[in-house]
Every structure is written in structure tokens, then in C-alpha cells.
Structure 1
Amino acid sequence: MKFDTNKTALLIVDLQNDNLIKGGKFEDSGAVEHARKQNVVENIKAIAERAREVGIPVFHNHFVVEKGAKGIGNRAPIFRAIAETGSIVRGTWGAAPVEGVKPKEGDFVIEKSRMSAFNGTQLDSLLRGLGIETLIVTGVWTNMAVEHTCRDGADYGYNVVIATDGTSTISEEWQEAALNYAMNNLATKMTTAKIISNM
């Protein structure tokens, strides 16, 4: 698959300190270790740098809550976990983008308070305004935010591509479950190297 740079965008989902950096609120979940194993930060950095070189727009989607996690609800276990850990609170180190993959001039930054990058955001409107047909999805968590986003992307009519080593979660078991079940029917699976070579 050769990407049409005029019709392709890169999306980086939830690449924030609390989610995958040592000292973050979810460090004990296994997320730090799995992100390191996947080399996810360096891989996403490489994809983003190449995307900018060839004129592919780069979107950063950050999950941000207000102090006390007001407004996200507590019925779903994931939202309870966010509230109980006090993670990804606006203005904190934990909510900040990971070093090395911070937004650069010309990038798009979108905030959300749900799993999918499409839910309650301007993402779809911006992509359509740019004439985007293919969306390359990277980030964390593969089996939650990334999968939700890929599902919605497919439903909205985009050709979704998921970076198999540009995504991470809490374990290889969860990673493989997301990639080898849902993604088979929703997205094209490609490695970082393959994505870059086809840009």
C-alpha cells in the first residue's frame, strides 16, 4: 500500500506521560514495560517525522480531565481507574505529551474525554476538511483508546491503518488480542518500517 500524501493523515493517540512513562499514574499496570518492548515512542517519533517531511498532517489526540475527573463518569471501569488514580489531569506532568513526540508547529492537537478520538471532538470534521481518506493510527492503549478509534474510523468511512509496533498496552496478550481479532475486520496492519517506506 503506497500512501497518497494528499489524502493521508497520522493520528497519535494518548501518548502522554501518565500512560506509558516511568513515574506515570499507570506505571504499575505493565504499560511502561510494554511500551518499552514495543519501542513505541521511538517508532511513533519516526513515523511522525517522516509524515511531516512528505506533507502528511499529524494529529495528536490527548485524553485530559479536570481535577477530580469531573464529567467523565464512573460507570465504566476505565473511567473509574482514571478518577481513582488522579491521572491525566490538565496542567500536570502526567497529562503532558511524551518527550520526543510533542506536537510541533503545524500539527493538530485535539482533546477528548472518551476512549475514541472521534467521540465529542473535531477530528472527523478536520479530516474531511483536509480531504483525508486514509488514517494511520498510533499510540496507546491498543485494546482500548486505539481500538475504539479504529472502530469509529472504519464506521466513518476511513481507510484505517494501524501501526503494529507503533501501539502499546499493558501486555503482549492484550496487544495481540486487539491486533489479531478486532483489527482483522477494521484496519490494515503495518509495521513502522512498512508505513515509513510507503510514505
Structure 2
Amino acid sequence: MDGGAGGDTGCRGRAVHLCLDMQRLFSPGGPWPTPWMVNSLPNIAAVAERFAGRTVFTRFIPARDPGTEIGTWRDYYRRWSALTLERLDPSLLELVDELKPLARFARVVDKRRFSAFSAPRLAEVLNGHGAETLIVTGAETDMCVLASVMDAVDRGYRVVVVEDAVCSSSDEGHEAALTLYRTRFAQQIETLTTQALLERAEARAL
């Protein structure tokens, strides 16, 4: 089942699994809690295992302090000053324990904005894999996932959002974002369950 760094992923185009911000920072006990992250974790792990060697985990890294930011980001970190790097417990930036073993076979890319593409290194990693399809999981459906998916669409990637492997702290926002993906962006974004994704990948029908 290992996709491998150069292996057959079962996709029409070369696929990379992009997992957004599954960090202790956003865990149910963290300062920015996503309560039902625990429900999506087994599915995320299954996708990461299937696409071992072709998974990218992102980590959201807050500002050092509000004064290092610009515009509304400065206002944002004034509101959340307790979660700036100068005050935050650095262990909260780590991936959740359930995904750490899988990260050994993946790339980890740090970002300072909602979109994964705000980190220049992501483009380098994706280009290195010859990526054409992005399989997207992680948190939050209506924030960092949304921003990353929109950027991926603009860059011409085929996007598959794994609907039971994304999560949000807002049920309403989660459902609204999935509806947006399924309707307004149906030409460029597909939504699949984890089971459907893995079955289609196994059958080379993704």
C-alpha cells in the first residue's frame, strides 16, 4: 500500500497528500481547539500511510510578537498575543502524537499564513514530486484548508478534499466549506470519503 516517493499512487495524475496543521496547537486540549479533530485523525493517518513518501504535513507558526506583523495580521496577534512565539509553549507547534510516526516518511513545511502556499518551500516540494493532484486533509476546513484549496485551484492542481479527514472548530463553517467545494468549485475540486479515496487509489481509478 506504500505510495512511495516515486511509486504508483493509483491516481490519474501524480498525487501528493497535503495535510494541514494537525498540531497540538489545534488539538481538543490546545489553545485553539478543534474538538472533533480526534474523529478525523484515523482517516488522516490512513491517507498518510497510503501515500507514504508523498505526504506533506504543514505547521502553522505564529508571529514572534504583534509588532513583527503587518496590517490586519498585527491586529490578529494583538488579539491572540498569548499565542505568539515569545509567549507560546513551543511544544504546541508539534504535530499531534498520532501523526508523528508517519511524519518520518513525509515532508514537514512551516507556514505563517492560512494558505500552505504562503510557504515558498511547498512549491519546491510539490514540483520535486511532479505533483498534479493534491489530496487535502487536516484543519480547519473553512480556514487553512479553504485558503490552501483556493490557492491550489489557482495554480492548476486537481484537488481532492477528503471530507471525513478535514475538521473545523465550527460545524457551520465546515459544512458551508464542503458545500462550496461540491457546488461552486465542482469542476476543479472533488470531495471523497476516506474509504472511497483508498478504494479508488487501490483500483487505480482515482
State the TM-score bracket (shorter-chain normalisation).
0.7 to 0.9
- Residue 59 (structure 2) aligns with: 62
- Residue 83 (structure 2) aligns with: 86
SS at match of 1:170: coil
Tell me how far apart the structure 1 counterparts of residues 121 and 160 of structure 2 sit (CA, whole Å). 20
The within-5 A match list for 1:71-150 is 71-73=68-70, 75-76=72-73, 79-80=76-77, 83-86=80-83, 92-102=90-100, 103-150=102-149
* Superposed CA RMSD: 2.6
SS at match of 1:198: helix
SS at match of 2:80: helix
Tell me how far apart the structure 1 counterparts of residues 189 and 166 of structure 2 sit (CA, whole Å). 14
The within-5 A match list for 1:12-51 is 12-22=19-29, 24-27=30-33, 31-32=34-35, 34-36=36-38, 39-51=39-51
Tell me how far apart the structure 2 counterparts of residues 174 and 35 of structure 1 sit (CA, whole Å). 15
Kindly provide the CA deviation profile for residues 4-60 of structure 1, in whole angstroms up to 9, marking residues without a partner as x. 2871000110100111231x1113xxx22x324xx11111011111212xxx50101
Kindly provide the CA deviation profile for residues 106-128 of structure 1, in whole angstroms up to 9, marking residues without a partner as x. 31111100110001322122212
Aligned length in residues: 188
- Residue 190 (structure 1) aligns with: 192
Structure with higher Rg: it is: 2
Kindly provide the CA deviation profile for residues 126-161 of structure 1, in whole angstroms up to 9, marking residues without a partner as x. 212221100001110110100000000011110001
SS at match of 2:164: strand
AA aligned to 1:7 is R
Kindly provide the CA deviation profile for residues 78-131 of structure 1, in whole angstroms up to 9, marking residues without a partner as x. 933773341677871211101111253331111100110001322122212221
Tell me how far apart the structure 1 counterparts of residues 78 and 21 of structure 2 sit (CA, whole Å). 16
Cα contact 2:21–2:139 (8 A) shared by 1:
yes
- Residue 170 (structure 1) aligns with: 169
Instruction: Flag structure 1 segments of 5+ consecutive residues without an equivalent.
Output: none
Instruction: Flag structure 2 segments of 5+ consecutive residues without an equivalent.
Output: 1-8, 202-206
Tell me how far apart the structure 1 counterparts of residues 32 and 159 of structure 2 sit (CA, whole Å). 27
Tell me how far apart the structure 1 counterparts of residues 111 and 171 of structure 2 sit (CA, whole Å). 26
AA aligned to 2:51 is A
Cα contact 1:74–1:80 (8 A) shared by 2:
no
AA aligned to 2:23 is Q
SS at match of 2:165: strand
Tell me how far apart the structure 1 counterparts of residues 92 and 47 of structure 2 sit (CA, whole Å). 23
